[in-house]
Structure 1
Amino acid sequence: MIEGKIIQFYRIQKNMKQSELGEGICSTTHISKIERGLTEVSPKTLQLLADKLEIDLQTEIKTYMSLDILLKEWLYSISMKIHTKADQLKEKLEHVALLQMPTFFQFYILILTRHYLSTGNQSQALKCLKKMESCQELSQFEKNLFLHNKGFYELRFTKNFHKAISILNDIDGNQYTHEYLYHLAYAYDSINSRVLALYYASKALQYFKDASCFTRIIETETLILMQLEQSNEMISLDSEFNRLIDMTVEYGLNDHRASLYTNFGYFKLREGNYLKAIECYENAMYSWEHKNSYYYLCSLEEYITTLIKGKLKSKDEILALAKEGLKLAKKTDELLHIHIFNLHILTIQDQKDDYYQYLEYKATPYFNKINMQQVTEDYQIQLFDYYMENQEMNKANSLAKSIIDNYRKNIQFL
């Protein structure tokens, strides 16, 4: 009986004993049976108990009945990146005392974890994850949501992509939403497992299409294009990128447009089309809403890389851009980009030995620490060539072993 659960909850909230609540109304035994739903109770008695607890019982019943739906709506809004609605629901739920009931509390904390993961609040996300570690009586859906949160945490904050894959693969897709498949695809992409990344991204795309969620459709199609870039069944990447960019313009998705331009620029850079790559990166930097964000720095860094490779500006101009990037990275404490911009500066200034000293002793250890696999591999190859050129065979062999070991680790997921 819902009324009994509500009465029990508010009695405990007010630190009242059953005998205190029942005094002048009914016996302690009757209160116990009411709370456990083991007896019929008259409307008059319920009203007297509610008055003593200072609650509007009918309002509390309506709230109780609506909570499960509200929680699911909140989770869906977070998953589909409907930010305004998600924020409104979060604020509304924060004022609902009944969320502290065991019936709802675990589900609420799981969704709150997902909120913190999505907004980049690592400390609060980790706090919630630890709180849920000891929970035993979770529904199957809640168990899957917990696994999704754990996998997402590894993906976003620790960059431990292999661990993320292992966790996300434990989710029972038959009893959970298919949104997690996007994160699984992203994890496979991060270890260059293109076939599996494409497979799971395609499944996620169908889920987002069924939900008519254009934001997630654009994200997922972008991820798919990243896999098709080296496919033998090449489609026209230019036309596909332009189609998605047009969609971001239509829906006012500035950051998504910036991300698309950044990826488009990367493909043009790989083709050796430096002028087109530069155009893409300039559009990306213009489109990012926050000019000191991690993602803006990514676009700026790749822009500088293209300028260096294509020799499209003077050294002084490129050096000024690299120093500005370093200044922004320091301002936001983005250690990854602090190292990368320092490497750019040493390259532009033709300080070859200092470049490789910095790469070996400062940058590469940090890249390894944060599991930035693609970045690490690119710079490891540079170091390997440098060691070979200088006949430092022990270092070259040690680095080659590291690269091969990492390759072995990755192919287990193919």
Structure 2
Amino acid sequence: MIHLNQTTANTTKMDIGSKIKFFRIQKNLKQEDLAKGIISVSYLSKIENNLTSPSEEVLQLLCKRLDVSLAEQQDENIFEELLSWYKSMMSSRGEKVHTLYEEFSNKIQSADTKTYMYFVLFELRYYLYMKNLSHSKKLIEKLQQFMDVFDVPMHYYFQKFYSIFEYNHNNFNESLVHLKKAEQLLHRNPIIDKFEEADLFYLFGLTYSQTMKVPLSITYTTKALQAFQSIYDFKRSAECQVLLGISYRRIGEYDRSEESYILAQKLSESLGNSYLQELIYHNLGKLYAMQNQQTEAIREYEKSYDLSKNEISLRNVNSVYCILLEYDKMGNQLQCKKWLQIGKDLLKYHQDDIEYHLYFTFHECILLGEYDRFDEIFQEKGLPYFQDKGIQEPIIIYSEILAQYFESTYKYKKASYYYSMCYRELKKQTFLQ
């Protein structure tokens, strides 16, 4: 965690401008609403930008309308509790995280301005943790209005949380932009908690993995693993091993990939963590699939699916999709139809997820032999979506399927187009360019 210089002092008249601006925005008031009957809007603007010192009478009237005090002391106990709450979000202790949020929501109104601002920042992280992206977006928009009064650590947290928001929208390139800003800000703070540094490195590894920049993913994930191991965080160490396994698989280092998964499996078993076990089974399935061991791959995918099938989660949709892919490779249409229907049923709970709706639509076209429709949807919706999100793997999979179909029907121009597309994406993935 970044440690702040937390001196106790009365708020000066110049400092109060930032405080007034913060609480006005927090209470969803326009400058006109706050200034009405007290001062002009232009004068309030100067106060909020710390360009002028108002009289005591004006300060009292503004603060009364905002229901805040003129003088304050930073409550270091509440501040440390806030940091502890934030850290618990990265340790995935759901019950505790939610309980602490309810407690802070009730008592934070009496905290000093700086602590309150950190609460709003960590509230953003809380809604990201809860996967409430619509509320997260509103908080980002609110926070952007008073970024000019952030200190360096506040800017760091905002950029980090913004990157997580973009990641959850599959905007991986945008996520990296914010991560790089966060990394620059992190290095401007001399005292950094090892856990915070490790978590940022892990986010880099995760995001670079999504953009298929495997060497960078390995570099950052290894740094994260070393940091988590140094503080004996076995759960996060296991997550790093899974991510390393994915990267090694992508560059054909199958033995190293399996070794990472086995290490992760040992850790997850010792922790009794079913989510990690589900993740490991899924990625073992991917490893076997890469080696064309379809039976073994399906076995591992089904283990993963069995652990998550009672949840309304995209994780079980992903497992179903991967099982469908393997049965398609085997030419088992009966099983393909079965798992396609399971996937479509699950997607009723995820109407807004474009990616998986595309996947199952493509496979429905394949099973029905509607390749012209498949080609049309891929060109109009699939390809633009995957390119915009920087997702290469489905472009490789579906361009090859379309290429093979058009070759078999003697449409060589279209076949050549899709083979070229597949080759270009493979070059990006295997670093041959």
Normalising by structure 1, report the TM-score.
0.76
- Which shifted more, 171-180 or 69-78? 171-180
Identify the residue that residue 117 of structure 1 maps to in structure 2.
Answer: 128
Identify the residue that residue 3 of structure 2 maps to in structure 1.
Answer: none
1:93: how far off?
0.7
Task: Supply the distance in 1 between the matched residues of 2:317 and 2:252 (Cα, whole angstroms).
Answer: 32
Say if 2:265 and 2:280, in contact at 8 Å, map to a contact too.
Answer: yes
Task: Supply the distance in 1 between the matched residues of 2:209 and 2:251 (Cα, whole angstroms).
Answer: 14
SS in 2 for 1:136: helix
Identify the residue that residue 73 of structure 1 maps to in structure 2.
Answer: 84
Task: Supply the distance in 1 between the matched residues of 2:349 and 2:163 (Cα, whole angstroms).
Answer: 30
Give the letter aligned to residue 376 of structure 1: I
Render the CA deviation track for 1:226-260: whole Å, top value 9, x for unaligned: 11225576645434423422432332322221111
Task: Supply the distance in 2 between the matched residues of 1:402 and 1:279 (Cα, whole angstroms).
Answer: 28
Task: Supply the distance in 2 between the matched residues of 1:410 and 1:130 (Cα, whole angstroms).
Answer: 39
1:340: how far off?
1.3
Task: Supply the distance in 2 between the matched residues of 1:408 and 1:234 (Cα, whole angstroms).
Answer: 19
Task: Supply the distance in 2 between the matched residues of 1:329 and 1:163 (Cα, whole angstroms).
Answer: 26
Identify the residue that residue 330 of structure 1 maps to in structure 2.
Answer: 348
Say if 2:320 and 2:342, in contact at 8 Å, map to a contact too.
Answer: no
Specify which of 330, 340, 347 is matched with residue 366 of structure 2: 347
Render the CA deviation track for 1:84-110: whole Å, top value 9, x for unaligned: 332232121111144663221221111
Task: Supply the distance in 2 between the matched residues of 1:269 and 1:408 (Cα, whole angstroms).
Answer: 20
Residues 328 and 233 from structure 1, CA distance in 2 versus in 1: closer, same or farther, beyond 3 angstroms? closer
1:199 aligns with 2:210: no
| Residue-pair matches, total | 366
Say if 2:245 and 2:258, in contact at 8 Å, map to a contact too.
Answer: no
1:275: how far off?
1.6
SS in 2 for 1:96: helix
Aligned pairs for 1:17-166 within 5 A: 64-98=75-109, 101-134=112-145, 135-157=147-169, 159-166=170-177
Aligned pairs for 1:163-242 within 5 A: 163-170=174-181, 171-172=183-184, 173-174=186-187, 175=189, 177-178=196-197, 179-231=199-251, 235-242=255-262
1:266: how far off?
0.6
Residues 272 and 223 from structure 1, CA distance in 2 versus in 1: closer, same or farther, beyond 3 angstroms? same
1:80: how far off?
2.5
1:267: how far off?
0.8
1:379 aligns with 2:390: no
Render the CA deviation track for 1:345-375: whole Å, top value 9, x for unaligned: 3323444334333433444344445554432
Say if 2:239 and 2:264, in contact at 8 Å, map to a contact too.
Answer: no
Say if 2:118 and 2:154, in contact at 8 Å, map to a contact too.
Answer: yes
Identify the residue that residue 297 of structure 1 maps to in structure 2.
Answer: 317
1:390 aligns with 2:390: no
Specify which of 282, 296, 310 is matched with residue 276 of structure 1: 296
Say if 2:282 and 2:304, in contact at 8 Å, map to a contact too.
Answer: yes
Task: Supply the distance in 2 between the matched residues of 1:100 and 1:325 (Cα, whole angstroms).
Answer: 48
Task: Supply the distance in 2 between the matched residues of 1:372 and 1:239 (Cα, whole angstroms).
Answer: 26
Task: Supply the distance in 1 between the matched residues of 2:122 and 2:161 (Cα, whole angstroms).
Answer: 9
1:122: how far off?
0.8
Residues 236 and 399 from structure 1, CA distance in 2 versus in 1: closer, same or farther, beyond 3 angstroms? closer
Identify the residue that residue 50 of structure 2 maps to in structure 1.
Answer: none
Which blocks of at least 5 consecutive residues in structure 1 are unaligned? 16-31, 37-52, 54-59
Say if 2:285 and 2:301, in contact at 8 Å, map to a contact too.
Answer: yes
1:306: how far off?
1.0
Say if 1:188 and 1:194, in contact at 8 Å, map to a contact too.
Answer: yes
Give the letter aligned to residue 339 of structure 2: L
1:326: how far off?
1.1
Task: Supply the distance in 2 between the matched residues of 1:206 and 1:76 (Cα, whole angstroms).
Answer: 19
Task: Supply the distance in 2 between the matched residues of 1:100 and 1:69 (Cα, whole angstroms).
Answer: 12
Identify the residue that residue 252 of structure 1 maps to in structure 2.
Answer: 272
Give the letter aligned to residue 358 of structure 2: H
Give the letter aligned to residue 236 of structure 2: R
Identity within the alignment, % = 16
SS in 2 for 1:109: helix
Higher relative contact order (CA 8 A, sep 6+): 2
Q: Which structure has the bigger radius of gyration?
A: 1
Task: Supply the distance in 1 between the matched residues of 2:304 and 2:268 (Cα, whole angstroms).
Answer: 12
- Which shifted more, 163-172 or 105-114? 163-172
Say if 1:64 and 1:98, in contact at 8 Å, map to a contact too.
Answer: no
SS in 1 for 2:321: helix
Residues 227 and 322 from structure 1, CA distance in 2 versus in 1: closer, same or farther, beyond 3 angstroms? same
Give the letter aligned to residue 242 of structure 1: I
Task: Supply the distance in 2 between the matched residues of 1:147 and 1:100 (Cα, whole angstroms).
Answer: 24
1:317 aligns with 2:347: no
Say if 2:403 and 2:418, in contact at 8 Å, map to a contact too.
Answer: no
Task: Supply the distance in 2 between the matched residues of 1:123 and 1:77 (Cα, whole angstroms).
Answer: 22
